Structure 1
Amino acid sequence: MFDYIVVGAGFAGSVMAERLAGTGKKILVVDKRGHVGGNAYDHYDEAGILVHKYGPHIFHTNSPEVYDYLSRFTEWRPYEHKVLGSVDGKLVPIPINLNTVNLLYGWHLDSEEMEEFLRSRAEPIIPVRTSADVVLSRVGRELYEKFFKNYTKKQWDLDPSELDASVTARVPVRTNQDDRYFTDAFQVMPLHGYTAMFEKMLSHENIETRLNTDYKDIIGQVPYKNIVYTGPVDSYFDYRYGKLPYRSLEFKHETLDQQVFQPTGTVNYPNEQAFTRITEFKYLTGQAHEKTSIVYEFSRAEGDPYYPIPTTANAEIYRKYQALADNTPNVFFTGRLATYKYYNMDQVVAQALTLFKKIQHL
């Protein structure tokens, strides 16, 4: 008899399994894939380079609680992610900062002049409802079209005017020379990789893990009391209100016979290319190797669900599923897919820790 079946061995499921196991509960973790770690799974490729199978996962958080919790299962290496964008034949910093504008236009603005430039280009929009509104009201049409419009169309297959403001609100605009992609208090990568961290998290004697297993195939055969579900919420309810749309990704991994491929961890391609970005993993992992491995990312409509698509219509559908979830006894929904939210990794961990505190005494 298991106290909990945990569906999914990514961040949400692994945190819940580890926390509940620590209270003496017997846990069965099942995952359809052949590995733990969900989309954060990493492994050594044929050349011996540590790569992220499902695209780059860069850890950052402002939460001491999340950082301290994960620190039980990994040592860290400091890493501040930097991104360049290929725009007008130049590689310029993203998010847009003082250097971006100066490099793009051949100017020598200071911070005050940058503020003035942005003010002169901004198109005030009240109220701000869409992703387009966010960017246009901050940087104006020209930078919107160079950096955001086509990238968003590639990423989501929607015009920014069709997407919720939350998507581009995640991307800051800076008037200084800070070229870090994130400004969180904790910016680190697991020293030995994500997979090693998840394996340690799930190594508790009260946890049994079954991979290559669909929970629907075993649910009638295994005695259990409760379920923690981290998969797509619409799938759990057999698409009763229709399918919730997700964007998927396709990855093209390559190993090159050279030490370095590009000048920074990730280069975004907002415009002409079919792919959205290229990431070079050695920047992220700190590994020394005579070769280098990179990944091209292509946004797709079909495939594994990665990103909930934040539109008003989709939010309406999700609300119906949320009502079902809230009224399903002994089943607890957590994670990006189960709550249809575009969460970062640390937000998923925080959500799972919060859920654990709520149910630990049940």
Structure 2
Amino acid sequence: MFDYLIVGAGFAGAVMAERLAGAGRKVLVVDKRNHIAGNTFDYYDPAGILVHKYGPHIFHTNSKEVFDYLGQFTAWRPYEHRVLASVDGMLVPVPINLNTINELYGLRLSAGEVEDFLHSKAVKIDRVKTSEDVVLSKVGKELYEKFFRGYTKKQWDLDPSELDASVTARIPVRHNRDNRYFTDTYQAMPAQGYTKLFENMLHHPNIKVMINTDYKEVEDSIVFKKMIYTGPVDYYFDYCFGKLPYRSIEFEFQTYETEVFQSTGTINYPNEHPYTRVTEFKYLTGQHHPKTSVVYEYPKAEGDPYYPVPRPENAELYRKYQHLTAELNDVYFTGRLATYKYYNMDQVVAQSLALFKKIMAQEKETVLRPVPVPAVTNGRH
């Protein structure tokens, strides 16, 4: 007898498993893949270099609770990610900031002047509805064409004018010289990698793990009380309303006979190349090695589901599935795939920590709720 069957061994499922096991619950975690750690799974390639199987994952958060929680299972290596974009034959910093503008146009603007410069380029848009609107209203047509349009078209196979404003709404434009890709309070990488972090998280006598396992193949032969589901929500309901659209990525790994391949962790290629970006892992991991390994990312329509496609009709389709989830009392849906939303890693962890607290509160309420005593009439119930 298991108290919980947890579907998925990524962050959403592993956090739930660790918390529930620590609270004395017996947990079974199952995952279709042949490994734990979900999309953050890392391993040593044939050259002996630690790489991320599903593309680069850089941890960053403003939540002390999330950072300290994960810090129980890993030491942290401080790391601030920096990204350059290949534009007009130059490598310039992104997000667009004061350095980007000065390098691109050969100027020597100050912070105040660059704000005026961008304001002069911006297109006045009365009602911002699409990703194109967001960028044009921030930086104007020229920078939109150089940095955003081609990259977005490759990433989504849609023009930015066809995409929801949320895709580019959170892309910052800075008026200072801050070249960091993220500005979160806590920026670090697990010192021994993500897989080791997950191994530590799931190492508990109350946790059993089954990999290479589709939960639908075993759920009828396993006795459990409740389910935590972190897989694709449409798969849970057998695609009864149709498949939710995702974009996927093909990863091409290369090892080079040199210590350093490129000048920063990631370089974006918005325009002429078929790939969107190239990441060199040793920047992320801090590993010292005479060779180096990189990954090229080619967006595609089919494959593992990575990015929900943010269009109104897809949101409406998800809402149909969401209504079905609300009708289930013994199944909890958490994580990216189960909620059809692109979360950062720390957001997934925070979501599962919150769900654990909710479940514990519900269990306590059930235990404390008084059992009604039947009325007695004439000595008989």
Q: Could you state the TM-score of these two structures normalised by the residue count of structure 2?
A: 0.94
Alignment match, 1:233: 233
Alignment match, 1:78: 78
Q: Distance in 2 between matches of 1:107 and 1:225?
A: 65
Alignment match, 1:305: 305
Q: Distance in 2 between matches of 1:90 and 1:109?
A: 19
Q: Distance in 2 between matches of 1:195 and 1:284?
A: 15
1:163-214 per-residue CA deviation (whole Å, 9 max, x = no partner) reads: 1211112210011110000000000000000000000000011000000011
Deviation at 1:49, TM superposition (A): 0.6
Counterpart of 2:253, as a letter, is H
1:37-48 matched pairs, under 5 angstroms: 37-48=37-48
Alignment match, 2:189: 189
- Which SS does the other structure have where 2:92 is aligned? strand
Counterpart of 2:312, as a letter, is T
Deviation at 1:124, TM superposition (A): 2.0
Alignment match, 1:110: 110
Q: Distance in 2 between matches of 1:343 and 1:249?
A: 17
- Which SS does the other structure have where 1:65 is aligned? helix
1:28-49 per-residue CA deviation (whole Å, 9 max, x = no partner) reads: 0000111100000001111111
1:124-155 per-residue CA deviation (whole Å, 9 max, x = no partner) reads: 22322211111110000110110001100100
Q: Distance in 2 between matches of 1:271 and 1:303?
A: 23
Deviation at 1:117, TM superposition (A): 0.7
Alignment match, 2:261: 261
Q: Distance in 1 between matches of 2:267 and 2:356?
A: 38
Alignment match, 1:251: 251
Alignment match, 1:62: 62
Q: Distance in 2 between matches of 1:227 and 1:274?
A: 41
Q: Could you state the TM-score of these two structures normalised by the residue count of structure 1?
A: 0.99
Alignment match, 1:8: 8
| Pairing 1:93–2:93 present | yes
| Pairing 1:171–2:171 present | yes
Q: Distance in 2 between matches of 1:133 and 1:62?
A: 28
Q: Based on CA coordinates, which of the two structures has the bigger radius of gyration? A: 2
- Which SS does the other structure have where 1:192 is aligned? coil
Deviation at 1:328, TM superposition (A): 1.4
Q: Distance in 2 between matches of 1:128 and 1:66?
A: 33
Alignment match, 1:330: 330
- Which SS does the other structure have where 2:339 is aligned? coil
Q: Distance in 1 between matches of 2:298 and 2:360?
A: 40
Alignment match, 1:210: 210
Q: 5+ residue gaps in structure 1?
A: none
Q: Matched residue pairs, number?
A: 362
Alignment match, 2:34: 34
Deviates more, 1:342-351 or 1:352-361: 352-361
Q: Distance in 1 between matches of 2:76 and 2:172?
A: 26
| Pairing 1:277–2:277 present | yes
Q: Distance in 1 between matches of 2:360 and 2:195?
A: 26
- Which SS does the other structure have where 1:220 is aligned? helix
Alignment match, 2:370: none
Q: Distance in 2 between matches of 1:130 and 1:349?
A: 29
Q: Distance in 1 between matches of 2:347 and 2:124?
A: 31
1:58-94 per-residue CA deviation (whole Å, 9 max, x = no partner) reads: 0000011110110110000100000000001100001
Q: Distance in 2 between matches of 1:302 and 1:355?
A: 31
Q: Distance in 1 between matches of 2:124 and 2:320?
A: 35
- Which SS does the other structure have where 1:226 is aligned? strand
Counterpart of 2:23, as a letter, is T
Deviation at 1:335, TM superposition (A): 0.4
| Pairing 1:139–2:139 present | yes
Q: Distance in 1 between matches of 2:76 and 2:58?
A: 12
- Which SS does the other structure have where 2:221 is aligned? coil
Q: Distance in 1 between matches of 2:163 and 2:73?
A: 37
Deviates more, 1:349-358 or 1:163-172: 163-172
| Aligned residues with identical type, % of pairs | 69
Alignment match, 2:286: 286
Counterpart of 1:192, as a letter, is Q
Deviation at 1:112, TM superposition (A): 1.2
Q: Distance in 2 between matches of 1:322 and 1:127?
A: 29
Q: Distance in 2 between matches of 1:219 and 1:328?
A: 16
Q: Distance in 2 between matches of 1:188 and 1:141?
A: 35
Counterpart of 1:68, as a letter, is D
Q: Distance in 2 between matches of 1:23 and 1:164?
A: 41
Q: Distance in 1 between matches of 2:51 and 2:147?
A: 27
- Which SS does the other structure have where 1:273 is aligned? coil
Counterpart of 2:228, as a letter, is V
Counterpart of 2:174, as a letter, is R
Deviation at 1:329, TM superposition (A): 2.0
Deviation at 1:270, TM superposition (A): 0.3
Root-mean-square deviation over aligned CA pairs? 0.7
Q: Distance in 2 between matches of 1:274 and 1:12?
A: 32
Q: Distance in 2 between matches of 1:326 and 1:67?
A: 30
